[in-house]
Structure 1
Amino acid sequence: MSLFPGDMPDSLRAIAQEADRIHESALWSAQGQFEQAKLWRLINLLLGVPAAALAAVSGGTALAGDVGIWPGVLALAAAALSATLTTVNASRRMAQAQTSANAYLQLQTAARQFLTIDLAGASREEARQTLRGLTSTRDELNQAADPPGRIAYRLAGRNIGAEGQRYGADGTPDRPAAPVTPRLRP
């Protein structure tokens, strides 16, 4: 999904290409982080709901009277799920991935606006300074974000390939641009 303007002056061509790379990197990173957040949310539910249910059932079974070892087995299973949930810390990881995804979206927007609006009228030094800022922001985000797993990366690729990161204003070859209506799938 290149935004590289074809009619760019030679003096700004390398800057435009690098800004386009940052835009593409931010697109993939944002979508990967959104997909990773969804996976952490799922893990949180898959571990948390059974842990709570097993704890409730084990307590109720224990109060029911002489039922053998089942309350203890259920309580141990609930404790194991709770310990796993605590160790994995899926809720914190989900929040971190969501925060990183939104930060990458901000970078993506800044790079897109620089490429499509500001670059053509900028001097080489102004363009270079803006590119330094975009690069610095990208590097900071990369250091702070946990890398998405393989499944999240594949889901991100599928979403990007299905044009889940396009706006109606961008149009398509078979459909002209429509009013601005984001079609992002966080």
Structure 2
Amino acid sequence: MPAVAEPVKALAEEVHRIHESVAWSAQTQFEQLKLWRGMNMILGVPAAILAAISGGTGLAQHHAATVPAVLALISAGFGAALTTLNPSRRASQAQAAANAYLELQTAARQLLLVDLNNLSGDGPRDKLAELTVRRDEVNRTADPPGRYAHWRARRNVRKGGQAYEVDAEKR
């Protein structure tokens, strides 16, 4: 954490906590996004292929309907899973949440590193309150990520996935 004037030290620490929290949340939501995109492909591609094969074999074979019927049922199962899980909507929501967390991360970092020592009066407290409200709003609207997304996010952050080169030079 950068050096800050003593009167705003507690505020700086809280801004740092928000920065850390949203950095983890952003990474976790991006990992959740990857999972939902993959699920969309895993369920959607076989559903479409099986439906096409089923239709083609059904039209080609006039007397044997067993194979096309089984393929159609399997395709319907994939389609039902797609409809129930709705991975495309969940991927969009995870991406929106991740990007909102990144915006907050940037705002918190800029407040902490650039603006905090230059604000006077109630300025620092007002900026912290604004960040808190924005973070709470994103938290309310974001879908909770799963354990696997948390695990992948932790792995990526520990490998430096949230680090900037300019910050590495300062260490």
TM-score range, shorter chain: over 0.9
> Identical aligned pairs, as a percentage?
54
**Alignment partner of 2:122: what SS?**
helix
2:9 corresponding residue in structure 1:
13
Uncovered stretches (5+) of structure 2, i.e. residues with no partner: none
Provide the rounded CA distance (Å) in 1 between the counterparts of 2:51 and 2:8.
63
2:54 corresponding residue in structure 1:
58
Provide the rounded CA distance (Å) in 1 between the counterparts of 2:57 and 2:24.
49
Provide the rounded CA distance (Å) in 2 between the counterparts of 1:85 and 1:10.
55
**Alignment partner of 1:8: what SS?**
coil
Is 1:30 the counterpart of 2:6 in the alignment? no
Alpha-carbon shift at residue 124 of structure 1 (Å): 4.9
Provide the rounded CA distance (Å) in 2 between the counterparts of 1:145 and 1:172.
34
Alpha-carbon shift at residue 122 of structure 1 (Å): 1.7
Show structure 1 runs of 4+ deviating over 6 A. none
1:122-181: CA deviations, max 9, x gaps?
22521001000000000000001011111111111111111111122222468xxxxxxx
Provide the rounded CA distance (Å) in 2 between the counterparts of 1:91 and 1:102.
17
**Which of these residues, 45, 48, 58, is aligned with residue 49 of structure 1?**
45
Uncovered stretches (5+) of structure 1, i.e. residues with no partner: 175-186
How many residue pairs are counted as aligned between the two chains? Answer: 170
1:145 corresponding residue in structure 2:
142
Change in Cα spacing, 1:124 to 1:13, as seen in structure 2 (3 Å) is: farther
Change in Cα spacing, 1:120 to 1:173, as seen in structure 2 (3 Å) is: closer
1:69 corresponding residue in structure 2:
66
Q: Is the 8 A contact 1:26 1:108 kept in 2?
A: yes
Is 1:119 the counterpart of 2:112 in the alignment? no
User: What amino acid is aligned across from residue 49 of structure 1 in structure 2?
Assistant: V
Greater length-normalized contact order (CA 8 Å, ≥ 6 residues apart): 2
2:93 corresponding residue in structure 1:
96
User: What amino acid is aligned across from residue 103 of structure 2 in structure 1?
Assistant: Q
**Which of these residues, 135, 140, 165, is aligned with residue 168 of structure 1?**
165
Q: Is the 8 A contact 1:61 1:67 kept in 2?
A: no
**Alignment partner of 1:148: what SS?**
coil
Give the helix-richer structure, 1 or 2. 2
The normalised TM-score by structure 2 is 0.95
**Alignment partner of 2:161: what SS?**
coil
1:62-115: CA deviations, max 9, x gaps?
122233411111101101110110111100110111011111000000000000
Q: Is the 8 A contact 1:31 1:156 kept in 2?
A: yes
Change in Cα spacing, 1:139 to 1:34, as seen in structure 2 (3 Å) is: same
